[in-house]
């Protein structure tokens, strides 16, 4: 029985050797007919590849850091002043060029700086003082286990409650946020570069843990960051603050402010803006409810605190995620009431309660 099993294997092995033998001969002949110094040739290819790869990375990082502010301003101009038309916005910038960019660029104002500064200070106080469950993050590459305070839900509820009380008591009008939203975006852009510079200096001069290091390239360290878990104290994590308290919480504040602006202008909130706002707030509430799980996400457990991380949390998340509501403030879309739709399926005729329009109607197909 053993011989029967072994013989076919040997036969297949000899057949495989006969099949591979011509290929080996061709490979050896091609090597002999190649360059006289193959090692030098391979080394030249590798060095040129590495140099070109490094150049591509440098150009990519510079392009992102230079073009990102223009994208934010372009998106704001498209939503607010070009009626959501990308074609109209592009036509304006192509027609007027650099002068057109300078004319529409929303520079930071004193009101916008005060508003953003007050929000940052308020969220920092909540994160530092509110109690919560202490949870451990995943192990870092050097074996550290960072501790986080799970107080996202109290911070979220207190923030929304205080914001509502300020509006009800007429101490602050959230509709003003929409009026100076372009200036607020510019403040966030400037804050991104200032914060990244401070994190870069801190990473070089005062790292708070062994999870830090330099790539040997100034631009790379500035873009990707020096520290994995930068902190100001044992309970104040900078990455958690930027991601959760500024990015996600700022997103919620913008969503509510846009809804209040439409209510004050038109006397009601359109059902499209209401649905969009409720869905976003539900997602944000679920995010803070599962805050401990997000400590294992890539941006907290893997990404270092550099420009990319700071820009994503401070600017991209609140600005881009709320852009739909920014457009709906002055362009309300009334979805209307639901109707009872009839559709034919493979199992026969059925009924389904769907909206009169939108992607939801495709669920029955």
Query: Among 320, 319, 249, which Cα is nearest to 291's?
Result: 249
- Segment 31-38 mean pLDDT: 43
Contact criterion met (CB below 8 Å) for 332 and 273 = yes
Estimate to the nearest angstrom the gap between the alpha carbon of 202 and the chain centroid.
Answer: 23
**∠ CA 221-233-208, rounded to 5°:** 35
Q: What is the pLDDT of residue 180?
A: 96
Q: What is the pLDDT of residue 347?
A: 66
Provide the pLDDT confidence category of residue 345 given band limits of 50, 70 and 90. Answer: low
Would you say residue 354 has pLDDT above 60?
no
**∠ CA 26-31-36, rounded to 5°:** 155
Measured distance CA(177)–CA(181) in Å, rounded: 6
What does the pLDDT look like over 189-220, one tens digit per residue?
999 999 999 999 998 888 888 878 888 888 98
Q: How is residue 359 annotated by DSSP?
A: G
Q: What is the pLDDT of residue 339?
A: 60
Would you say residue 340 has pLDDT above 80?
no
Entry pTM: 0.78
Q: What is the pLDDT of residue 25?
A: 45
Provide the pLDDT confidence category of residue 22 given band limits of 50, 70 and 90. Answer: very low
Lowest-confidence range among 41-55, 90-104, 209-223? Answer: 41-55
Provide the pLDDT confidence category of residue 97 given band limits of 50, 70 and 90. Answer: confident
Q: In whole angstroms, how far apart are CA 131 and each of 80, 97, 126, 145, 149?
A: 40, 52, 9, 20, 7
Provide the pLDDT confidence category of residue 249 given band limits of 50, 70 and 90. Answer: very high
| Packing angle, helices 181-205 and 110-129, rounded to 10 | 50
Q: Of 330 and 49, which is predicted with more confidence?
A: 330
Q: How is residue 331 annotated by DSSP?
A: S
Q: With the C-alpha atoms ordered 74, 310, 61, 194, is the resulting torsion angle positive or negative? A: positive
Q: What is the pLDDT of residue 29?
A: 46
Q: What is the pLDDT of residue 31?
A: 43
Maximum average pLDDT range among 125-129, 146-150, 343-347: 125-129
What does the pLDDT look like over 264-320, one tens digit per residue?
999 999 999 999 999 999 999 999 998 888 777 777 778 888 999 999 999 999 999
Measured distance CA(328)–CA(211) in Å, rounded: 44
Lowest-confidence range among 11-25, 151-165, 265-279? Answer: 11-25
Question: SS3 of 68, please?
Answer: helix
């Amino acid at each position: 029985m053993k011989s029967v099993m072994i013989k076919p294997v040997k036969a297949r092995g000899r057949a495989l050797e006969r099949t591979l033998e011509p290929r080996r001969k061709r490979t050896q002949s091609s090597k002999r007919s190649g360059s006289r110094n193959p090692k030098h040739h391979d080394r030249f290819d590798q060095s040129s590849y590495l140099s070109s790869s490094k150049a591509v990375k440098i150009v990519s990082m510079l392009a992102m850091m230079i073009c990102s502010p223009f994208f934010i301003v372009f998106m704001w101009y498209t939503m607010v002043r070009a009626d959501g038309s990308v074609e109209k916005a592009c036509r304006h910038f192509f027609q007027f060029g650099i002068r057109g960019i300078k004319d529409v660029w929303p520079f930071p104002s004193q009101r916008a700086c005060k508003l953003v500064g007050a929000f940052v200070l308020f969220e920092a106080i909540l994160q530092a003082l509110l109690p919560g469950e202490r949870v451990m993050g995943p192990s870092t590459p050097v074996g550290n286990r960072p501790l986080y305070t799970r107080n996202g839900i109290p911070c979220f509820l207190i923030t929304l409650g205080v914001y509502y009380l300020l509006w009800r008591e007429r101490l602050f009008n959230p509709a003003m946020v929409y009026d100076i939203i372009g200036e607020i975006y510019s403040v966030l852009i400037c804050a991104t570069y200032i914060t990244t510079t401070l994190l870069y200096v801190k990473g070089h001069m005062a790292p708070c843990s062994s999870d830090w290091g330099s790539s040997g390239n100034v631009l790379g360290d500035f873009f990707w960051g020096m520290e994995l878990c930068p902190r100001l104290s044992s309970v104040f994590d900078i990455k958690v603050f930027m991601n959760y308290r500024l990015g996600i919480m700022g997103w919620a504040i913008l969503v509510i402010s846009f809804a209040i602006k439409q209510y004050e202008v038109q006397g009601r909130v359109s059902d499209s803006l209401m649905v969009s706002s409720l869905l976003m707030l539900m997602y944000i509430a679920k995010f803070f409810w599962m805050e401990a799980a997000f400590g294992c996400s890539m941006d907290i457990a893997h990404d270092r605190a550099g420009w990319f991380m700071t820009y994503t949390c401070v600017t991209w998340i609140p600005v881009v995620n709320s852009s739909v509501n920014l457009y709906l403030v002055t362009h309300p879309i009334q979805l209307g009431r639901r109707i009872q739709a009839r559709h034919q399926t493979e199992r026969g005729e059925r009924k389904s309660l769907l909206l009169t329009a939108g992607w939801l109607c495709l669920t029955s197909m």
